[in-house]
Amino acid sequence: MNSPTYLVTGATDGIGKATALALAEQGARVILHGREPRKLESTLEQLRATTGNQSLHAVLADFAALDQVAALGERVRTDFPGLNVLINNAGLLTDHWQLSADGFEMTFAVNYLAPFLLTQMLLDTLRASAPARIVNVASTALGGGRVDFGNRQLEQPFDGWQAYANTKLMNVLSSHHLAGRLAGSGVVSNALCPGLIDTNFFHTNTLFAGGGYERLKPGMRPPGEGALVPLYLAMDPLAGEVNGAFYVRQGRDGRRAVELDWDPVVAADLWARSLANLGRWLAPGAGG
């Protein structure tokens, strides 16, 4: 791809920031998303100063409020019609039950509904910019996930890790389902697990208190290494020929595709229910 434009969500911390930095170092045009104005502006200034790349831009939206996600999608469609790569990285891990601005369980809203909505809103832009890519940062935690339509809100009892695993499974199911819908369009959709990476996830809640973080830390890698698989799917020419895959890290710099025993019927049901949940924010007839 010649001078592609990338949108990285959750670009002010961890893997997202490391991904945006690596793209900026390559001279790419990068749109950094964040939810805190001061932190977003600080990150933008830092990356410009560090890389000398002035083709960096900032867009603000809180993924816990779907009105803001929709506004983000509209802005990107208007201001960046040449978007080539969407990297859905922003995520949440919480230790307590809470509702989003729209009445959804917060993990479900931020980790799943928000990137689903943003992706839907940008599909036509990506098709028009083909070859284009959608990169979904998920996790092998999906192995413990459930798509339970009867207990989506997880009110009783709430388990933050279970909520996270559920959304990572949903991310991958939707990524696979979308890949099928995009076949032949010049746009590919793939998902990945970046590995066990030392990010703020482990410091912003009590899920890893009592020595849990300390036990995991020897096996953790820095955010820069966590960005390696997303960068491969976003930039490598070979990855542009792959559609509907799930990648995991292999060693420090490698990666491999993993076959998942995913149920296309469940994925299609999840897709339809997601569109129904987001109907008020989507144009009539939207759905990939």
Q: pLDDT tens for residues 57-75?
A: 999 999 999 999 999 999 9
Instruction: Spell out the domain ranges in the chain.
Output: 5-281
Q: Residue 8 and residue 191: Cα distance in Å, rounded?
A: 14
Which whole-number Å values give the CA distances from 26 to 19, 90, 132, 231, in the listed order?
A: 11, 22, 18, 11
The 10s digit of each residue's pLDDT in 114-150 is 999 999 999 999 999 999 999 999 999 999 999 987 6
Q: Residue 243 and residue 256: Cα distance in Å, rounded?
A: 14
Angle at 91 between CA 89 and CA 97, to 5 degrees: 170
Give the H or E element holding residue 83.
strand 83-88
Residue 1: what pLDDT? 46
Retrieve residue 142's tokens.
């999906």
The residue among 73, 74, 278, 71 whose CA lies nearest residue 174 is: 278
Residue reference for tokens 């989506």: 152
Q: Residue 197 and residue 225: Cα distance in Å, rounded?
A: 8
**pTM, whole model, 2 decimals?**
0.93
Helix/strand/coil (H/E/C) assignment for every residue in 163-199: HHHHHHHHHHHHHHHHHHHHCCCCEEEEEEECCCECC
Chain mean pLDDT for the chain: 91
Contacts of 14 (CB under 8 A, 6+ apart): 197, 199, 200, 201, 223, 226
SS3 at position 51 = helix
| Residues belonging to the active site | 164
Residue 131: what pLDDT? 97
Residue 242: what pLDDT? 97
**Residue 125 neighbours by CB distance under 10 Å:** 21
Retrieve residue 217's tokens.
């830390």
The 10s digit of each residue's pLDDT in 160-188 is 999 999 999 999 999 999 999 999 999 99
Contact 160, 207 (CB under 8 A): yes
CA torsion sign for 241, 246, 249, 250 is negative
Instruction: Identify the CATH number of the domain defined by range 5-281.
Output: 3.40.50.720
Kindly write down the DSSP assignment for every residue of 218-250, as one continuous string.
Answer: GG-B-HHHHTHHHHHHHH-TGGGG--S-EEEEE
